[in-house]
């Protein structure tokens, strides 16, 4: 055949994406033979029974088929009919036409207002510009765009946490850059320290790598930790000192589970510091938080401290695939403009939203405590995001790849080995989501316990 493994692009072959890797393929194989599989490999809430929020789906239905507003008005609350009408008017041609490459202007305006409202308080006004916002097919495509811009040669490095979300390592490999891992400190709740950044940076420089950017995932994936304001300021200072751009993955900003772990954005701290040098890309998504609309691929990227000529290059890059999908763009609008007090659908929205967040909070606690109680396991509290990443003690000579495969074969539970995310040499972990229904979480923990105690 004319295209074979031997003449296929090496960057494609070298890239790895563990959360959809061999272990998931094996799980699907087992499922086809009739085995019951509990998919804890990926943050895909609706696949595990989470219900979509009603207001979101009502508006999407009305914008997909606008005649519904006259055919069945009684099926919809008034504010929903009004929102759908606004979207149809503002978008001009509805969901069927390509939008501007950056995305629909009124959606970008709403995002800018959302950022301003989220990040400002009496002491500080944070501004946002709709022209510095790009609608993307999920956050993943935004991250790929940013990395594509930053990696200019095969000696260019990008700092990513260890452990990290494998989208980063895969995209860096695809674009021919160098992954520069910095460790997070598990013992102190996966915190991020200046010492670890300095160490990773120095090692990379010594190896001839030109470090161009640093990626931070906050709240953390797979670690579940939430960064403090001071931690973020430290990262920005570090980036400034070394002339790095910052990629801030903030898709779990609504997934925080303790009052003391309030989400702080990089945009806010950048403004606070009056920082004008450090270029920032930040990412948000409709796939996580309380929406969990993974399949609809809605997301956005906001950029700061970039000159107009660079903005123009990013816009051109986006234009090559024309625009992100319009239902996803509408979904982002609904993410940043949920029903407001006084709206007919407000109460239902609040009860559905709180129901989702509350359930996640209870599962996070139950899972972290359950795993931590298994002899040979140590699991940090899950204060944000949707994952646990416990340390496991394995018999000498065995690794987490074998362990997770055996766990799958024995119990039907599909988790991803720590090797797919990165970890300190000599340690072993896996990542599991907190997404199975509450009653299944106890089953998961007890099956893992039983498996662990017998595995050799």
How far is the C-alpha of 273 from the C-alpha of 240, rounded, in Å?
12
Output DSSP code: residue 190: S
Q: How far is the CB of 159 from a second copy (least distance, A)?
A: 13
Q: How far is the CB of 188 from a second copy (least distance, A)?
A: 29
Q: How far is the CB of 151 from a second copy (least distance, A)?
A: 6
End-to-end Cα distance, the chain: 44
> What sections of 65-121 are H helices per DSSP?
68-71, 78-91, 105-119
Q: How far is the CB of 401 from a second copy (least distance, A)?
A: 17
User: Are 333 and 99 a contacting pair, CB within 8 Å?
Assistant: no
The nearer residue to a second copy, 276 or 456, going by C-beta atoms, is 276
How far is the C-alpha of 161 from the C-alpha of 214, rounded, in Å?
9
Q: How far is the CB of 328 from a second copy (least distance, A)?
A: 6
Q: How far is the CB of 64 from a second copy (least distance, A)?
A: 4
Q: How far is the CB of 368 from a second copy (least distance, A)?
A: 24
Strand pairing class (245-249; 280-285): parallel
How far is the C-alpha of 64 from the C-alpha of 230, rounded, in Å?
45
Q: How far is the CB of 427 from a second copy (least distance, A)?
A: 26
The nearer residue to a second copy, 52 or 376, going by C-beta atoms, is 52
Neighbours of 424 (CB within 10 A): 15
Q: Which two tokens stand for residue 145?
A: 């765009």
How far is the C-alpha of 329 from the C-alpha of 46, rounded, in Å?
19
Neighbours of 296 (CB within 10 A): 23
The nearer residue to a second copy, 130 or 295, going by C-beta atoms, is 295
The nearer residue to a second copy, 17 or 263, going by C-beta atoms, is 17
How far is the C-alpha of 48 from the C-alpha of 179, rounded, in Å?
33
Q: Which residues pair with 285 in a beta bridge?
A: 299
Strand pairing class (210-217; 156-162): parallel
Q: How far is the CB of 333 from a second copy (least distance, A)?
A: 14
The nearer residue to a second copy, 232 or 379, going by C-beta atoms, is 232
Buried b (16+ CB within 10 A) or exposed e, 86-114: ebbeebeeebeeebebbbbebbbbbbbeb
The nearer residue to a second copy, 268 or 297, going by C-beta atoms, is 297
**Alpha-carbon dihedral angle through residues 35, 41, 42, 43, given to the nearest 10 degrees:** 100
The nearer residue to a second copy, 167 or 180, going by C-beta atoms, is 167
Q: How far is the CB of 298 from a second copy (least distance, A)?
A: 8
Phi and psi based region of residue 34 (left: phi greater than 0; alpha: psi -120 to 50; beta: remaining)? left
Handedness of CA 23, 29, 33, 39 (dihedral sign): positive
The nearer residue to a second copy, 231 or 324, going by C-beta atoms, is 324
Q: How many helices (H) and strands (E) does the chain have?
A: 16, 14
User: Are 87 and 109 a contacting pair, CB within 8 Å?
Assistant: no
The nearer residue to a second copy, 68 or 405, going by C-beta atoms, is 68
């Amino acid at each position: 055949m004319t295209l074979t493994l031997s003449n296929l692009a090496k960057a494609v072959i070298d890239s790895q994406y563990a959360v959809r890797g061999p272990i998931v393929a094996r799980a699907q194989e087992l499922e086809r033979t009739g085995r019951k599989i509990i998919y804890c490999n990926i943050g895909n809430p609706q696949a595990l029974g989470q219900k979509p929020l009603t207001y979101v789906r009502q508006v999407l239905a009305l914008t997909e088929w606008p005649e519904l507003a006259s055919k069945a008005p009684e099926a919809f609350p008034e504010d929903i009919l009004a929102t759908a009408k606004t979207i149809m008017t503002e978008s001009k041609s509805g969901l069927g036409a390509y939008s501007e490459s950056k995305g629909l202007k009124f959606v970008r305006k709403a995002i800018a207002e959302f950022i301003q409202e989220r990040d400002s308080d009496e002491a500080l006004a944070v501004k946002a510009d709709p022209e510095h916002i790009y609608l993307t097919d999920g956050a993943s495509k935004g991250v790929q765009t940013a990395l594509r811009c930053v990696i200019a040669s095969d000696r260019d490095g990008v700092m990513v946490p260890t452990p990290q979300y494998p989208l980063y390592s895969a995209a860096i490999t695809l674009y021919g850059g160098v992954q520069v891992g910095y460790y997070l400190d598990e013992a102190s709740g996966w915190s991020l320290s200046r010492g670890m950044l300095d160490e990773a940076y120095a090692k990379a420089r010594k190896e001839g790598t030109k470090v161009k950017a640093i990626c931070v995932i906050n709240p953390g994936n797979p670690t579940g930790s939430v960064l403090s304001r001071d931690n973020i300021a430290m990262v920005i200072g570090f980036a400034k000192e070394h002339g790095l751009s910052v990629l801030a993955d903030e898709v779990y900003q609504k997934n925080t589970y303790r009052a003391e772990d309030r989400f702080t954005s990089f945009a806010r701290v950048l403004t606070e510091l009056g920082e004008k040098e450090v270029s920032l890309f930040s990412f948000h998504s409709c796939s996580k938080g309380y929406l969990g609309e993974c399949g609809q691929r809605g997301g956005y990227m906001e950029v700061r401290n970039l000159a107009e000529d660079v903005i123009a290059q990013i816009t051109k890059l986006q234009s090559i695939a024309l625009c992100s999908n319009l239902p996803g763009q509408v979904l982002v609008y609904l993410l940043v403009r949920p029903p407001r007090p006084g709206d007919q659908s407000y109460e239902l929205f609040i009860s559905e939203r709180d129901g989702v967040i509350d359930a996640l909070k209870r599962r996070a606690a139950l899972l972290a405590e359950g795993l931590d109680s298994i002899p040979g396991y140590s699991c940090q509290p899950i204060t944000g995001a949707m994952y646990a990443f416990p340390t496991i003690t394995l018999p000498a000579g065995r690794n987490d790849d074998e362990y997770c495969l055996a766990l799958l074969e024995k119990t039907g539970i599909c988790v991803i080995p720590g090797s797919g995310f990165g970890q300190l040499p000599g340690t072993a972990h896996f990542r599991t989501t907190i997404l199975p229904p509450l009653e299944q979480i106890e089953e998961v923990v007890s099956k893992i316990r039983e498996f662990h105690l017998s595995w050799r």
